[in-house]
Amino acid sequence: MRSCNGCTLCCELLGITEINKPANSKCWNQTRDGCSVYEHRPPSCAQFECAWRLSHVPKNLRPSKTGAVIASNNRMIKCFVRENQVPHKQVMEQLADYAKAGITVVIASGSDRFVLTRSGGMQQIFQGQEAVAPAHHSPCSSRHAASDQDP
């Protein structure tokens, strides 16, 4: 496993429910060298698995260098970046490879959420706390409209 070695970007970008720390704000336990309460850190911090630390992404995608923290589980990849920012070009290339392979990729920029499509495009799914409605009509709404006209 790789060492954080001074990288504390996850401490800034992620929200920590147990201590009411909002996302995109410096954690009050964060120091220049890491976490001042590391041995007694909140469970969500202890359970967070940085894909860079686990060697799931290339070494050159170190969060403190790219401004992006990538986490993964068996269902999806989630990339956290600062509010109103997009991931670094090399990070986007790596994320695009995951999306092309059929893995769900979510990009969190502040409180906005985007899904990276297999074709490399991004679709916004949340803006702040609100879900973003798709730009097209769903098949369900078309079917209901048609059934209303049926005898």
| pTM, rounded to two decimals | 0.81
DSSP H/E element including 145? helix 139-149
Q: Give residue-wise pLDDT tens across range 58-92.
A: 999 999 999 999 998 878 999 999 988 989 999 99
26 has a pLDDT exceeding 50: yes
pLDDT bracket for residue 129 (50, 70, 90): low
In 3D, which of 82, 4, 114, 5 has the Cα closest to residue 48?
A: 4
